[in-house]
Structure 1
Amino acid sequence: MRVLLMTYGSRGDVEPMVGLAVQLRALGSEVRVCAPPDFAELLDGVGVPLVPIGRPVRPTVKGAVTGTAPLPAEGLSQRAAALAAATYDAVAAAAEGCDAVVATGLIPAGAGARAVAEKLGIPYVWVAFFPSYLPSPHHPPQAWPGRPLPPEVTDNRVLWNLNSENVNGLFGEAINTHRASIGLPPVDNVLDHVLADRPWLAADPNLGPWLEPADLDVVQTGAWIRPDERPLPAGVEAFLDAGAPPVYVGFGSMPMRDSDGVARAVIEAVRAQGRRVLVSRGWADLGLIDDQDDCFAVGEVNQQALFRRVAAVVHHGGAGTTTTAARAGAPQVVVPQMADQPYWASRVAALGIGAAHDGPAPTTGSLSAALETALAPETRARATAVAATIRTDGTRVAATLLLAAVNRESPPVPA
């Protein structure tokens, strides 16, 4: 079996696809990945070829968040058209001889990937990494920039209908213009078209459950976790061995408008709890604020190994980081910035495995208060209990389902 995996987004959109790629390859399948050029090193590290799509993501996101660089001059509709076309071209070139396409990421990219599957007549699957991305009567959609949802409307089904109208307004013309250029008919509902009839949810059923009853037929596979056997760097090992378990602080692929101020706030908050600090630089470019030996800065590191050895994890609330910390039994403080992160913050708090910070801008005081909750013995005990429930077979379930789809079978929904 040959499979094409497509994603256009940040590290949190790419990492799960890498996990699925590793599993598929272990089962004897040939895998190709289409993703932003930022992640060539990540794919190269597992021996999976990258077919790059479009512009690098990191400079665009960082410039937009920090104000250091403007967004491209063309409008959103033009950028959507360019992304749909670029995705189609990249996927079409890479999908020759493939038996299925699995896609995620930005809506125009998903439309481009589905167009390739249509032209080739092969199965197409859309995957979401958090429940609130998918239409449901149990949660509202996220608002699109410049198109706020009416605050007086509380019926989630009505809000999702409005969301579909917004998606059509933002991307419909661009996507249908591209479809016409390659000989495909127009689509009336862009969101339904990209999600397809039976989207997958690659999130842990205990950490991020799909709630029934629902109007959408969703298959929850469990989170897609990439096995990581890399040893921790010698400097990190030495720091861990030099004292009590530190608090890890990192915001992944989230840039920060005031990274120096955020670094000072979080380090002072951790010190106020009498703890050492392990700072992850990430896309926020966090650094140390002085040369005291109770702090250590790290770059890319094996979080699966590291989180088992820390007192708590302070992070942005991406699906991957939340799942990795939960699986390690590490208490969490989630400082949500955007997208799915408020959802994961709410789940961490609801499960009693940490604290949800109020808002995206931590201060020494606000973070210190959240850390008091996370570092309490009862939170550690609850995190340990929840860790035992986190499933690790998500990629195997997904690979089995994909093989069945290629073979035109109808496998049962996993328990």
Structure 2
Amino acid sequence: MVGLALGLRELGVEVRVCAPPDEEFTALFDGVGVPVVPVGAPVRPLVTTVVPGSAEGLAQRMAELMAAEFATLAVAEGCDALVATGPLPVVASARSVAEKLGIRYVHASHQPVSMPSPHQPPPARRGRPLPPGVRDNRELWEIDARNANEMFGAELDAHREAISLPPVSNVRDYAFTDRPWLATDPVLSPWRPTDLGVVQTGAWLRSDERPLPADLLAFLDAGDAPVYVGFGSMPVGDPKGVARAAVEAIRAQGRRTVVSRGWAELDLIDAGADCIAVGEVDQRALFARVAAVVHHGSAGTTTTAARSGAPQVVVAQGADQPYWAERVAGLGIGVAHDGPAPTPESLTAALRTALAPETRARAAAVAGTVRTDGASVAARLLVEEVGRAR
């Protein structure tokens, strides 16, 4: 979203951003001079405390998300368009705000997994497992739509009634629209055409002018290319165990390690000079200097690693991450780790493949195909559509 904001600003467009008040998010926008309006509660405490797959507390969280998004009505007033991404309760509420204001609305997704398609099944919603006996994807997506209505419909309609809007009959399709934007790279994430008029813009990448920290640069300069390990904003069940498994496996390959703390709070396992721990850094600059990237498989990290030509080991934790792991393995640019809990043995085997010359050669070849103009494409498209509407 930072990339889109910068792309719009380059076209002379005034940008207002609403985002959760986490320090990491506000720092991203502050760093490029884009004003951000804090909305709702911080995300980090929620992400790091929710039990994977559990629906406990879901109704309250959903209600809070919707209330926060409807509160952006005053922020969006006077705007020509509203671009929304995030969980279904958020984007359904955002479209309601745009509808009330009579402005252009765009739903943007940074992964294709949640997009209805006969070529793939829907992801299961919390507390709503899909029936195991159903194999037809179209039927599964119909079930998913009913589940979404049951989970979010009443709360959404209550907020809409409060601002004099009619009820919504299909929450998911209302939020997504019949022309959603897919902000993924077409090589890393090809979209097979469907009845849904998906507009694939390319991934929204941002330029990052931050220099790497001096201690990290010194570490990189002091030896051969290390292996990066980081799980971004994903928590892991056993941070110490994951860090130990990674470092031991990397040492077994004769490599040094860069450990990214992230929201999993990974850290060094000993005082060895062959390891360094880092916080938030420019991944693009760092990945250009590593031998491989071990990560959780988010859309952003996968795309950045692919663009840098770094082989990958994807240890998927959930959500859309198994999809990205599958794409990495399918393209031959890395390995999809079997399961979310790595061991020294499992990572050693994965790294052997990832560090092989043929994997690096394939990663370098794919890097040259990754588009870098997705945010600019989306910005121009939005300006054109608003201009036509006027």
* TM-score range for the pair, normalised by the shorter chain length: over 0.9
The letter for the 2-side match of 1:198 is R
- Alignment partner of 1:226 is 2:221: no
Q: Which residue, 69, 73, 76 being the options, matches 2:58?
A: 76
Q: Is the 8 A contact 1:318 1:344 kept in 2?
A: yes
Could you tell me how far apart the structure 2 residues matched to 1:130 and 1:247 are? 26
Helix, strand or coil for the counterpart of 1:105?
coil
Q: Is the 8 A contact 1:246 1:275 kept in 2?
A: yes
Question: TM-score if structure 1 supplies the norm length?
Answer: 0.91
The letter for the 1-side match of 2:59 is S
1:169-203 C-alpha deviation (Å, 9 max, x unpaired): 11111111111111100001000000012000000
Tell me the equivalent position of 1:256: 236
Q: Which residue, 325, 335, 343 being the options, matches 2:323?
A: 343
Tell me the equivalent position of 1:273: 253
Q: Which residue, 70, 88, 94 being the options, matches 2:75?
A: 94
1:55-91 C-alpha deviation (Å, 9 max, x unpaired): 111011112249xxx99x8x433432332121111x2
The letter for the 1-side match of 2:97 is V
1:212-251 C-alpha deviation (Å, 9 max, x unpaired): 2x12110000000011121111111110111100000000
Q: Which residue, 373, 378, 381 being the options, matches 1:393?
A: 373
Q: Which residue, 109, 118, 125 being the options, matches 1:144?
A: 125
Q: Is the 8 A contact 1:317 1:341 kept in 2?
A: yes
- Alignment partner of 1:403 is 2:389: no
Could you tell me how far apart the structure 2 residues matched to 1:82 and 1:49 are? 23
Task: Give the deviation of 1:255 after TM superposition.
Answer: 1.1
1:311-350 C-alpha deviation (Å, 9 max, x unpaired): 0000000000000000000000000001110000000000
The letter for the 2-side match of 1:407 is G
Q: Which residue, 284, 289, 292 being the options, matches 1:312?
A: 292
Helix, strand or coil for the counterpart of 2:85?
strand
Uncovered stretches (5+) of structure 1, i.e. residues with no partner: 1-16, 411-415
Q: Which residue, 263, 272, 276 being the options, matches 1:292?
A: 272
Could you tell me how far apart the structure 2 residues matched to 1:79 and 1:348 are? 33
The equivalences for 1:9-28 within 5 A come to 17-28=1-12
Uncovered stretches (5+) of structure 2, i.e. residues with no partner: none
The letter for the 1-side match of 2:182 is L
Question: TM-score if structure 2 supplies the norm length?
Answer: 0.97
Tell me the equivalent position of 1:10: none
- Alignment partner of 1:108 is 2:92: no
Q: Which residue, 31, 34, 51 being the options, matches 2:37?
A: 51
Could you tell me how far apart the structure 2 residues matched to 1:178 and 1:95 are? 17
Tell me the equivalent position of 2:360: 380
The letter for the 2-side match of 1:265 is A
Could you tell me how far apart the structure 1 residues matched to 2:45 and 2:64 are? 18
Q: Is the 8 A contact 1:81 1:178 kept in 2?
A: no
Task: Give the deviation of 1:409 after TM superposition.
Answer: 6.2
Task: Give the deviation of 1:104 after TM superposition.
Answer: 0.6
Tell me the equivalent position of 2:47: 61
Tell me the equivalent position of 1:4: none
- Alignment partner of 1:185 is 2:166: yes
Q: Is the 8 A contact 2:92 2:172 kept in 1?
A: no
Cα gap change, 1:202 to 1:54, in 2 (>3 Å): same
Could you tell me how far apart the structure 1 residues matched to 2:303 and 2:104 are? 28
Tell me the equivalent position of 1:217: 197
The letter for the 2-side match of 1:361 is A
Helix, strand or coil for the counterpart of 2:169?
coil
The farther-off stretch of 48-57 and 241-250 is: 48-57
The letter for the 1-side match of 2:123 is Q
Tell me the equivalent position of 1:13: none
Could you tell me how far apart the structure 1 residues matched to 2:276 and 2:374 are? 33
Q: Is the 8 A contact 1:65 1:256 kept in 2?
A: no
The letter for the 1-side match of 2:382 is L
Helix, strand or coil for the counterpart of 1:197?
coil
Task: Give the deviation of 1:106 after TM superposition.
Answer: 1.2
Task: Give the deviation of 1:48 after TM superposition.
Answer: 1.0
